[in-house]
Structure 1
Amino acid sequence: MSEGTQPPLDVVCFGETLVDFLPSAPGQRVRDVPEWRPCTGGSPANVAVGLARLGLRPAMLGVVGSDEFGHFLRERLASEGVDVSRLRQTAEARTGLVFISLDARGERSFTYFRTRSAEFLLGGEDVDAGFLLRAKAVHCGSNSLHRQEAREATVRMLEVARGADRIVSCDPNLRLHAWEDPSELKGLLARMLPLCTVVKLSEEEIGFATGTDVPDEALARLAALGVALPVVTLGERGAVLLWKGERVHVPAPRARVLDTTGAGDGFVAALLHGLVRWYGGARALSEATCAELAALATFACEVGSRVVERFGAVDGLPRAEEVAAVMPSRPPASG
């Protein structure tokens, strides 16, 4: 089948794809866990899984090792319905691994094996405009962009998508401890965020990303950069967004919080699901109403709340049939 006859995609996610190892039972430190269970990990990959479970056709673009863990990720993502045709495997580095646990007090602990891992080898060879433009939206993070070549490739993909009226989404998912010089990340965000249609930041991230710890001010600063739909998630207080100068706050449902890992990925997957399903492109999105976006953000909070009730980032991502009763329907156009 030629590139021109390939089936369309809904969202291309690109960035880190890792293996998360979860303990057979929470309540222990990493050093005390006797048995581990491998799962897909990496924020963009989690979003891809979330999109697939909600019924869309996502793809994962990135780099993993040619080792057994790289094969595991390709097979596991494909089994979820994620297109992995652009998930490149390389012998130059190994797949990144993360061991995650909750101790008896509910404190998370992480042990990383991802120094110079394959995810960081994203480069010019991975920029495929034809593949990107098969989708209605693209989504990325910033966690794996430590090499200049990866940064340039990411910026180029964002430019391609924005120039072709695609919805461009970014959840930086900041991990400042991983940057030897965090000012490099700040400079990278200054290049990436103005290319985005949608930017999602947690309340804890806005200070670094925007220079203010006040959510409403952060929204305004993102809008001034050219971000059409800036969103700040507020944990149990829901989320706030800015649309054409109007502030919209949506609540989060009550949840029995076990593990907050991946809650933001679930939120992003649900929000993108609605944006792609209802609008399909940046120009069409420009006609959205505050009421419509409030409905989508409310649904995104619902999905995020389900993630925190399970241990790990992907176990709680719901399937479409599980959230059918709360999935919003787009109201008919007035007039």
Structure 2
Amino acid sequence: MEGIKGNRFAVLGRAGMDLYADPIGVKSEEADTFHADLGGSSANICAGLVKLGSQASLITSISDDAIGRFCLNRLQHYGVDTAYIRVLGGEYRTSLALYESRTENFQNVIYRNGAVDFQVTDADMDRVDYTSFSALISAGTVFASEPSRSATFRGFENARKAGLPIIFDVDYRPYSWPSPEIAADVLSRAGEASDLIVGNDEEFGFMAGGMEKGFAKAQDLARKPGRVVIYKMGEKGAVTLADGQEIKTGIYPVDAIKPVGAGDSFMAGLLASIAAGHALKDSVMRGSACASIVVSKPGCAPAMPTTPELNAFLASHPGPAT
């Protein structure tokens, strides 16, 4: 994981616009005010990383319209490098997610028709100067369609040649994929090509062909020397599999106002903490704290904590529930 300590991340995957209903608790269909900010899993990870003191560059494509420009502006607002974002004309569109700050009967309406981020190509991946980064991160959604599926595997190959560790957030979203069978095959291939794999119990179960086989799948992936697998179990915490060890960690209980953004924040907190020199178990705990912070605030990118905010949270939450 030495590359992670270099703290310069190339991130593959989408940026989108989030619209979330205001005030807290109101349903989308009853709201007359929505806040707009950056969204999309990979863009959220980038914003989270930069807020925690890391460098992050997003590699994707956005639509040549007001929504694409909004995302570009917000990425730059958060300090994310946008040099490798290609602006694409025509009918392709940047994703839009419309959700609310509530946990009961939570609704998230995602507009992904003609998604522009699926139009990333091999040429986009070959344009990247991999020597300027120390690690590559990918979210699973980029594998759901062509040409971005093949392009992402190309990016993995380029990163491997440059000696970068590959970090993979399984991030399975059924609505993006042509079939569960294709998804299971492709996500498994991506896992085999990665050095650090983060997923939840449902995602590993899906890759294994059944929830009851998920942990065995995680253990199997972790058998490769040097590979780290983090198996998340929601409120039950996580098991980190590394070098034949199983490290169990809990969560920090908070009053959640929404269920989204936790995984992106966990990834940012985990990687920024490893980069800052924290031990693996401590880094997982700091990632868990970031996840708890984000679900307790409106929005995703704006809810990502800074390092002082993370440290203040840890100081006021002495220990996680196991």
The Cα shift of 1:62 comes to 0.3
1:298 aligns with 2:298: no
Larger mean CA deviation between 30-39 and 57-66 belongs to: 30-39
Structure 2's unaligned 5+ residue stretches are: 1-5, 316-322
Distance 1:200 1:141 in 2: 10
Any idea what SS the aligned residue of 2:129 has?
A: helix
Partner of 1:73: 71
Q: Helix, strand or coil for the counterpart of 1:13? A: strand
Shift of 1:37: 1.4
Q: Give 1:322's match in structure 2, choosing from 298, 303, 309.
A: 309
Distance 2:139 2:237 in 1: 21
TM-score by length of 2: 0.88
> Tell me, what secondary structure is at the counterpart of 2:50?
helix
Change in 2 beyond 3 A, CA 1:9/1:234: closer
Pair 168,327 (structure 1): closer, same or farther in 2 beyond 3 Å: farther
Q: Which runs of structure 2 are paired with 1:252-331 in the superposition (5 Å)? A: 252-278=251-277, 292-324=279-311
The letter of the residue matching 1:313 is C
Write the distance in 1 (CA, Å) between the matches of 2:225 and 2:313: 31
Does 66-75 or 212-221 show the bigger shift? 212-221
- SS of 1:204's partner is helix
1:178 and 1:130 map into 2 onto residues whose CA distance is: 26
Contact 2:290–2:304 (CA<8 Å) still a contact in 1? yes
Match of 2:3 in 1: none
State TM-score, norm by structure 1: 0.85
Question: Closer, same or farther in 2 for the Cα pair 1:102/1:254, shift >3 Å?
Answer: closer
Distance 2:73 2:202 in 1: 34
SS at match of 2:57: strand
Deviations 1:226-247 (A, max 9, x none): 7700001122222111111110
1:306 CA displacement: 0.8
State yes or no: 1:232 paired with 2:231.
Answer: yes
**SS of match in other structure, 1:106:** coil
Tell me the residue number matched to 1:209: 207
Q: 2: distance between equivalents of 1:299 and 1:236?
A: 15
- Change beyond 3 A, Cα 1:220–1:121: same
Matched residue type, 1:307: V
| Structure-1 residue corresponding to 2:24 | 26
For the Cα contact (< 8 Å) 2:223–2:244, is it kept in 1?
A: no
Question: Do the aligned partners of residues 45 and 212 (structure 1) sit closer, same or farther apart at CA in structure 2, a change above 3 Å counting?
Answer: same
Count of residue pairs the alignment pairs up: 308
In structure 2, do the counterparts of structure 1 residues 72 and 16 end up closer, same or farther at CA, with 3 Å as the change threshold?
Answer: same
Pick 1 or 2: higher relative contact order, CA cutoff 8 A, min separation 6. Answer: 2
**Unmatched runs of 5 consecutive residues or more in structure 1:** 1-7, 279-290, 329-335
Q: How does 1:22-61 map to 2 (within 5 A)?
A: 22-61=20-59
How far apart in 1 are the matches of 2:32 and 2:146? 39
Which residue of structure 2 aligns with residue 175 of structure 1? 173
Q: Tell me how far apart the structure 1 counterparts of residues 127 and 231 of structure 2 sit (CA, whole Å).
A: 30
2:287 is aligned with what amino acid? A
Match of 2:97 in 1: 98
Q: Is the 8 A contact 2:64 2:87 kept in 1?
A: yes
Q: Displaced runs of 4+ in structure 1, greater than 6 A?
A: none
SS at match of 1:255: coil
Shifted more, 224-233 versus 60-69: the winner is 224-233
SS in 2 for 1:240: strand
Preserved contact between residue 225 and residue 243 of structure 2 (Cα < 8 Å): no
For 1:288, the equivalent position in structure 2 comes to none
CA contact (8 A) 1:18 1:41 kept: yes
1:307 CA displacement: 0.9
User: Partner of 1:207: helix, strand, or coil?
Assistant: helix
Deviation track 1:67-87 (CA, whole Å, cap 9, x = no partner) reads 011111111111111001111
The amino acid across from 2:293 in the alignment is: R
Give me the identity figure in percent.
24
CA RMSD of the aligned region, Å? 2.3
Question: Is the CA contact (8 Å cut-off) linking 2:201 and 2:215 kept in structure 1?
Answer: no
TM-fit CA distance, 1:58: 0.6
Q: Which amino acid aligns with 1:301?
A: S
Greater CA drift, 234-243 or 318-327: 318-327
Note if contact 1:194-1:227 (Cα within 8 Å) is conserved in structure 2. Answer: no
Could you tell me how far apart the structure 1 residues matched to 2:210 and 2:199 are?
12
> For the Cα contact (< 8 Å) 2:118–2:146, is it kept in 1?
no
Matched, 1:247 2:246: yes
Instruction: Find the counterpart in structure 2 of residue 154 from structure 1.
Output: 152
